[in-house]
Chains A and B, each alone.
Chain A
C-alpha cells in the first residue's frame, strides 16, 4: 500500500536538544510539506519542498530546518531555537505543488517537552 510514514509517533525533547522527525513516502510524489497543528489553530505550514534538493520556508519556519536529499524523504529537525515546540506535526505530500493536487497526510508525530 502506498502512503506516508511518519516516525516516531511520540517524541520527547529535553531543553536545548535538537530532535528530528522522519517522513517517508512511497507515492512517488514530488512535493512534500511539514505542518504544525496546535489546538484550535488549524494547520500552519513550516516548510515545503517541490523537488529534490530544494525547499522553501512556510509561514512559521523559525526554529526548524529540513532537508530533501531523496524524493521519498523529507525529515524535519526541531532545533533548540524553537522555544515552544510542543505540538502535533504532520507531514504531507502531493503529486506536485501545482493547483488541483490533493495532499496526503501521514499519521503525525506528537512532540512534547520534558
Chain B
C-alpha cells in the first residue's frame, strides 16, 4: 500500500547543532504537511507544502518539498531545548492522508 517513510526514527543532538528529518513517498503527493508533537502532547500543525520544489521558512525551521513531489525535509538550525518532540510528515495522495512514523528529537544540554 501507499507509504510515507520517515527517517531517522530517533535523533539525539547537542543543543545548538542542526537537525534534519526526511520523508519519502513511493508515489507523487498532492501536498505534504508537517506536525510537531511535544512529549505527552498532541500533534500541532506546522506548515503545508504544495508546489514542486517549494521551500518555506519559519524562523529556524526550513521546509522543502522535492521537485518530483515525492519527498520532503524539515531542517532546524541551531536547535534549542524547546525543539524537543516528535516531528511528523503527512502526505496527501488523492483522498488519503498518510502520516509518517515520525522522528523523535532529543536535545542534549
- A residues with CB within 8 A of B: 35, 40-45, 90, 92, 97, 99-100, 102-108
Contact = CB atoms under 8 A, between A and B. Distances in A.
Contacts, number: 44
A43 B88 contact: yes
B30 to A, nearest CB: 5
Contact of A42 (B30, B31, B44, B99): B99
B32 to A, nearest CB: 11
Contact of B43 (A40, A90, A97): A90
26 contacts: A35-B99, A40-B9, A40-B101, A41-B101, A42-B101, A42-B102, A43-B43, A43-B88, A43-B90, A43-B99, A44-B99, A90-B43, A92-B43, A99-B30, A99-B50, A100-B31, A100-B48, A102-B45, A102-B48, A103-B33, A103-B35, A103-B90, A105-B44, A107-B41, A107-B42, A108-B42
Q: Tell me which of A35, A42, A45, A100 has the highest count of chain B C-beta atoms within 10 A of its own C-beta.
A: A42
B41 A42 contact: no
A106 B102 CA distance: 18
Contacts of B31: 99-100
B93 to A, nearest CB: 10
A45 to B, nearest CB: 7
A105 B86 CA distance: 15
* Best-surrounded residue of A35, A103, A104 (most CB of chain B within 10 A): A103
